[in-house]
Amino acid sequence: MVCVNDGFGPGAADDTLALAVRLDELPRAAAWLESLAAREGWPERTLFTLQLGLEEALVNVISYGFPEPAPIEATIALAYRRDRGMALLRISDNGAPFDPTTIDEPDIPEDVEHAAIGGHGVQLMRHLLDEFSYCHADGNNQLILGSRLPDIERTPQPA
């Protein structure tokens, strides 16, 4: 099964990065994303949004998607495509099936003293990203994060 309309079709020439299932891989993922942003000329907002989403998603996958210690066959793979006017990231892992897009909005506390710690990363992703979708195919979770890119040709240039 292939996830429908995710922009990552079979045979596509994606930019990819394989990660070990360890939190110390986060800086490597961030550096990969920053190099894509520099090469592609993303606006700062696009980079910030995708950095936040990628880090939140990876922390969740690494922390909760696999038993401790992660088995040898545990994998996380990142892929990038520019498609449909968006910078799209796909995070694939072979951990426990989990669809973060179905998480309910947390209750709004009366004040900061009653606010729950944690559980807000998914909400940040949902509100900041232009694309936030999930499917489970061929034994893998596939989370797509996307940020709309400005239409450079239509953006007024300074005179």
Q: What is the pLDDT of residues 5-35, one digit of tens each?
A: 566 655 555 699 999 999 999 999 999 999 9
**Average per-residue pLDDT in the chain?**
84
pLDDT for position 59: 95
pLDDT for position 157: 47
Range of the domain at 77: 17-148
pLDDT for position 5: 57
* DSSP labels, 109-142: PSSGGGPPSS--HHHHHHHH-SEEEEEEETTEEE
pTM higher than the cut 0.85: no
CATH of the domain at 71: 3.30.565.10
Tell whether 62 is covered by a domain.
yes
Query: Tens digits of per-residue pLDDT, 118-149?
Result: 566 677 788 889 999 999 998 999 999 999 99
List CB contacts of 57: < 8 A, sequence separation 6 or more. Answer: 91, 100, 125, 143, 145
Tell whether 11 is covered by a domain.
no
* DSSP labels, 86-112: EEEEEEEE-SS---GGGPPPPPPPSSG
Tell whether 159 is covered by a domain.
no
pLDDT for position 107: 63
Tell whether 81 is covered by a domain.
yes
Task: Give the mean model confidence (pLDDT) for residues 53-76.
Answer: 92
Cα four-point dihedral sign 107, 111, 116, 122: positive
pLDDT for position 7: 60
Tell whether 3 is covered by a domain.
no
Tell whether 123 is covered by a domain.
yes
Tell whether 6 is covered by a domain.
no
Tell whether 37 is covered by a domain.
yes
The 76-83 sheet, strands edge to edge: 15-19, 76-83, 86-93, 140-148, 131-137
How many structural domains does the chain have?
A: 1
